Chains A and B, each alone.
Chain A
Amino acid sequence: MRNLIGKSVAIGAIAALALTATACGSGRDGDSGGSKGDTKGFAADSLIGVALPSKTSENWVLAGDLFTNGLKEAGFKSDVQYAGASTTVADQQAQITAMVTKGAKVIVIGATDAAQLSTQVAAAHAAGAKVIAYDRLITNTPDLDYYVAFDNFKVGQLQGQALLDGMKAKKPNGPYNIELFSGSPDDNNAGVFFNGAMSVLKPEIDKGNVVVASKQTDVKQTAIQGWKAEGAQARMDQLLTSTYGNKELDGVLSPNDTLARAIITSIKGAGKPVPVVSGQDSEVESVKSIMAGEQYMTINKDTRNLVKQTIAMVKALQAGNTPEVNDTKSYNNGSKVVDTYLLPPVAVTKANAAEAYANDPKLAPLTK
């Protein structure tokens, strides 16, 4: 008797499972196959997801604010997320997945690790969302739609050129001793900056006009994991001890401002005169440093323009148009050549700072 009740419950449950499974044949909730070839745009108040790396530089924080406000002005709903400080990649993966779940139509991604997002980008694509890689090219995925960035090779070239100009201005004749730093090896851009800079420096090094005194010229030796300031400071400390006991250091190629300041801190800590140091990103502290005559140069990649351009692309997609691109050849992510819009960077030294930052409410007052 007891057994009977239990068995009938079990059988009932199994029957219910089978029934519900077959009865409502339209169980699948996703539109099968996604909306491929759908170029008719989407609702003007759709959700736009923005996934950015952890808040390690002012730039990302600023970009996040600009996206939040810009997308709101354009009439979209926005979801702007930063990866956490320690578990960056996993966080970003989860955030992108959450955006897909929420039905975002376009997902803008500033990747923490450019090669570890292909599963999520594929999921977004399958759900019919467009994916725009912001500032960092996402690699190893055929599902990336667009890439928008500053011309990073040009950034490197400007850094290299400014380094040469700056050293010449301080000391008319070489040979000049320099050291090289490059960014995080998991950031696709780091290598591009470095190659750009080396395209200018290499001829001078070959001529013997410029000397890398530590002989550390390989990108593996110069890389700073995670763009971490303490990494750059530690490496500079070691270079000073190992190489510059009785030599003069004339210049340091630094890929960005955060590292540039860390390098300068290290050099000042060792009681040496500050050499010509390059930078990038126009961070507040670095602009102050340039005006004070310490850091030599930075690159102005106005985040405002980049965000503006990205939002313009989102708007074009919303209207069902193809976003404007200006490079359809150079950016191969390993699976396909990605349509790209490149913005031009500007080199800034003390001489042209006032002019370069005239439109920047935060930086303009610093240059007066």
Chain B
Amino acid sequence: MSRLKDLQKNLFGGTTSNARQFGMIFTLVAIIVLFQILTDGLTLRSDNLIALFNQNSYILILAIGMLMVIVAGHIDLSVGSIAAFTGILVAKSMAEWSLPWPVAILFGLAIGAIIGAWQGFWVAYIGVPAFIVTLAGMLLFRGGNQFIGNANTIPVPEGFRVIGSGFLPEAGPDTGYNNLTLLLGLAACVAVVWREFQARKTRREMDADPAPMWVSVLRMAVMVGAIVFASLRFASGRVGTSFPVSGIILVALILIYSFYTRNTAGGRHIYAVGGNSRAAELSGVKLKRVNFFVMMNMAVLAALAGMIFVARSAASGPQDGNGWELDAIAAVFIGGAAVAGGIGTISGSIVGGLVMAVLNNGLQLLGVGTDRVQIIKGLVLLLAVAIDVYNKSQGRFSVIGSITRSFRRDTPTPPTSSSDAEREPARTAVSG
């Protein structure tokens, strides 16, 4: 009994929104296991896992930016077009001005920043709804792509392709695995363990009640186990393959943006604006600057996603970016963001995106046609959000919450853990 309470309080952070996040992760694991059985073990084979990341990293990168846009209470429909526009410009810059590819990547990011500043200006300083600004942007930059590219497909040089389809080099002794991938896995394990101890130390210093040791150990064991499993999988693909470069870019972005949205004043301001923009403004949040930032940030990430796709496809084509905005938005909402803004996490969106990705991949491995795949994905999106909305309207926040409610004492658990405050954005007080 008390163990259950401990587990709930500490593993899920004790709050219902974390329980929901746990629910999403559970769904993801369930889908993976289901397809692993249905496809006779193809789903978790290393080449398929590598392909999964290669195929979806650009969508997940978009989801990171989209989460921040949606949390701030906006939407961005232009990301696919911005990606295509940047893609064609970067491809042309390398083909016609023979720009070296690292410079071309910087050039692409700069284009993203300029486009973002343009859209951010209209949203933040003129006050045109983001829906309209980005709808215009969708047309504008799609047209720009066709205008510049003459609807042609333009190939990109070998070096540039690394960011979309490249792998870590083989280094060190022949262990039968990709050594650098193993090292990455090791670093991740160390980081997980270090972070756990760091968190415990902080809480002890703050005289807070640290989670029972066994919970910490369990949590670490699960995460380290997952990381060990994943890194062995990724490291054991065909010679010359490893954890993909696009996946590394994605993971780096997830870490940076998770930290930013959870642990910095700037990140918390986005939640404050989305939760109640008027209140946020009165508390001293620079509303315009926040809105400008999220729109601009989205465009830069869209530019990066566009370049990764072009690199993976080895060419920039006129169909690039079609429908990407919808994939990114779907990932964010499946991952538990609120349509009205103010609620949602980066990790949730990534899990949401992965649910869609694994679903897509598994159905393709089973040979299900795209027509039926689309039907299934549509239903999953609807159901995921519907369950959330229904549960909220019933006054309970999640299925898991409602199952375990009878076990709970009536005494409200004070939000002791620091992660409580981080993950309950709407209630967070805003600092300067």
Contact = CB atoms under 8 A, between A and B. Distances in A.
Interface in A4-48: 5-7, 9-10, 13-14, 16-18, 20-22, 24-30, 32-33
A367 interface: no
Contacts of A25: 174-176
Interface string B215-249: 01100110011001001100111111100000000
Contact of A21 (B151, B175, B221): B175
B123 interface: no
Contacts of A118: 313-315
A342 B369 CA distance: 29
Contacts of A334: 155
Contacts of B47: 29-30, 100-101, 127
Interface string A137-148: 001110000000
Given A87-B323, A225-B318, A81 B370 contact: yes
A119 B165 contact: yes
B150 A115 contact: no
A87 to B, nearest CB: 5
B239 to A, nearest CB: 5
Interface string B174-213: 1111000010011001100100110000000000000001
A94 interface: yes
A93 B56 CA distance: 11
Main secondary structure of the interface of B (DSSP, over half): helix
A101 B320 contact: no
Contact of B232 (A7, A21, A33, A113): A21
B315 A140 contact: yes
B237 A30 contact: yes
A21 B182 contact: yes
A110 B256 CA distance: 41
B364 A94 contact: yes
Select the residue from A85, A127, A334 with max chain B CB neighbours within 10 A: A85
Nearest to A118: B314
B42 A6 contact: no
B416 interface: no
Contacts of B402: none
Given A14-B190, A21-B232, A101 B365 contact: yes
Given A24-B176, A30-B237, A119-B313, A9 B220 contact: yes
A169 to B, nearest CB: 35
B373 interface: yes
Given A113-B153, A140-B155, A87 B322 contact: yes
A320 to B, nearest CB: 24
A115 B186 contact: no
Interface string A290-304: 000000000000000
Contacts of A115: 153-155, 314-315, 317
Contact of B367 (A10, A79, A93, A225): A79
A112 interface: yes
B92 interface: no
Interface residues of A, number: 67
Contacts of B190: 10, 14
Contact of B48 (A22, A87, A101): A101
B364 A28 contact: no
A9 B369 CA distance: 45
Nearest to A91: B370
B239 A13 contact: no
Interface string B32-49: 000000000010011110
B225 A101 contact: no
A113 B317 contact: yes
Contacts of B318: 113, 185-186, 225
A17 B323 contact: no
Given A90-B55, A113-B317, A27 B232 contact: yes
A81 B369 contact: yes
Select the residue from B165, B318, B364, B374 with max chain A CB neighbours within 10 A: B364
B313 A95 contact: no
B151 A17 contact: no
Contacts of B364: 81, 94-95, 98
A257 B154 CA distance: 28
Nearest to B155: A140
A352 to B, nearest CB: 36
B152 interface: yes
A220 B150 CA distance: 7
B238 A126 contact: yes
Given A30-B238, A94-B55, A115-B155, A5 B213 contact: yes
Given A102-B42, A113-B313, A185-B150, 16 more contacts: A6-B216, A9-B220, A13-B221, A17-B185, A21-B177, A25-B175, A28-B236, A82-B371, A89-B320, A91-B370, A101-B47, A112-B319, A113-B317, A116-B153, A127-B238, A186-B153
Closest 4 CB pairs of A and B: A30-B238, A84-B370, A116-B313, A27-B236
Interface of B: 42, 45-48, 51, 54-55, 146, 150-155, 161, 164-165, 174-177, 182, 185-186, 189-190, 193, 196-197, 213, 216-217, 220-221, 224-225, 228, 231-232, 235-241, 309, 312-315, 317-320, 322-324, 327, 360-361, 364-365, 367, 369-371, 373-374
